[in-house]
Amino acid sequence: MYSSPDRPRLAPGSALSLIIGLVLVWQSGAARADLSFDGKNRFIMTGQRMAVTLANDGSTAALAEISLDWGEPTSETSPLPPLAISKPLLRIDAGKKANVEVFYQGAGLPTDRETYLLLSVLDVPPAAKTPHTMNVALRHRFKLLYRPALKSTLDEAMAGLSWAVQKETQGRLIADNPSPYYLTLSDIEAIGSNGQPCGQPIEHLMLAPFSTQPLDLAACQTTSLRYQIVSDAGNLRPYGATLSPDRKSHGSAQL
């Protein structure tokens, strides 16, 4: 919510003053961001029903509009996700929590890999109480992964991630995720032959199941990598990999 306690003084008939006044009104407040899923930023759904807790950390009641959408880009003709929200519109009193359930109809999602979805919450602002207040609706998006019964584990998927040096292009690597899991990596850092980091790290990378992704790293003689993989709980697990120009290199967990 953006608000201005003081009304800007405008010169009569001045279009420029009017524009400046509107900018002052817009910049003089702070956006409301009181809703959260009780401190979580990702969810793993393994059955046909999942309960999540929505918290209002603000000092006033909040109206939340909750929806689900595909995480990967889709076309306009793509079907809607085969899931439903128990309470798509929900009022939560200040400092309170409320439970919302996600239902899966049991068909329509792959059974051999995870599906990436986005759980969205639109924080619907109350009506403006003064003529110089602008209310802004904020949308929060949280990662939701639907996970069917899979033969391998997430730990095995993390250990199975491999790296290959692309000989044709100096400094380019190919990340290979042969698992049925989505792997989210953070702070991928190239280490040079002198044992020191070189270039800027890649802050975020999400690898889809059974996919490869080329990475452009610093133009240095990269001999190893340091990176982190996000666990189901949202924690960062450190990994390292020693690169070989002749074969794929797998990472290992770092203590």
For strands 162-165 and 138-146, give the pairing.
Answer: unpaired
pLDDT at 240 over 90: yes
Residue labelled with tokens 């610093």 = 218
Beta bridge partners of 49: 103
For residue range 96-119, what is the model confidence (pLDDT) as tens digits? 999 999 999 999 999 999 999 999
Which is more confident, 129 or 10? 129
Q: Are residues 238 and 180 in the same domain?
A: yes
pLDDT at 16 over 60: no
Query: Which of 87, 99, 92, 85 lies closest to 126, judged by CA?
Result: 92
Q: Which residues touch 130 (CB under 8 Å, ≥6 apart)?
A: 3
Q: Are residues 177 and 201 in the same domain?
A: yes
User: CATH no. for residue 182?
Assistant: 2.60.40.10
For residue range 176-210, what is the model confidence (pLDDT) as tens digits? 999 999 999 999 998 888 888 888 889 999 999 99
Task: Give the model's confidence band at 18: pLDDT under 50 very low, under 70 low, under 90 confident, else very high.
Answer: very low
Q: What is the mean pLDDT of residues 46-75?
A: 90
Residue 117, Cβ density class (10 Å: 0-12 exposed, 13-18 middle, ≥19 buried): buried
Alpha-carbon distance of 190 to 18, in angstroms, equals: 51
Mean pLDDT of the chain: 82
Q: Say how far residue 64 (Cα) sits from the centre of its chain.
A: 19
Q: Are residues 1 and 55 in the same domain?
A: no
Q: Are residues 132 and 86 in the same domain?
A: yes
- Residue 195 confidence (pLDDT): 85
Residue labelled with tokens 């519109």 = 89
Q: What is the mean pLDDT of residues 38-45?
A: 86
Q: Which domain holds residue 4?
A: 1-30
Query: Which of 209, 218, 222 lies closest to 182, judged by CA?
Result: 209
pTM, two decimal places: 0.81
**Phi, psi for 145 (deg, rounded to 5):** -110, 120
**Amino acid present at 206:** M
pLDDT at 39 over 90: no
Residue 27, Cβ density class (10 Å: 0-12 exposed, 13-18 middle, ≥19 buried): exposed
Q: Are residues 41 and 109 in the same domain?
A: yes
Q: Are residues 112 and 197 in the same domain?
A: no
Q: Are residues 74 and 41 in the same domain?
A: yes
Q: Are residues 7 and 114 in the same domain?
A: no
The domain total for the chain is: 3
What is the percent of the chain with per-residue pLDDT over 70, rounded to a whole number? 79
Q: Are residues 11 and 66 in the same domain?
A: no
Q: Which residues touch 14 (CB under 8 Å, ≥6 apart)?
A: none
**Which of 146, 171, 196 is where one domain is finished?**
146
- Residue 165 confidence (pLDDT): 84
Task: Give the model's confidence band at 131: pLDDT under 50 very low, under 70 low, under 90 confident, else very high.
Answer: low
**Which of 96, 130, 146 is where one domain is finished?**
146
User: Could you give the count of Cα atoms lying within 13 Å of 13 in the half-sphere of its Cβ?
Assistant: 0
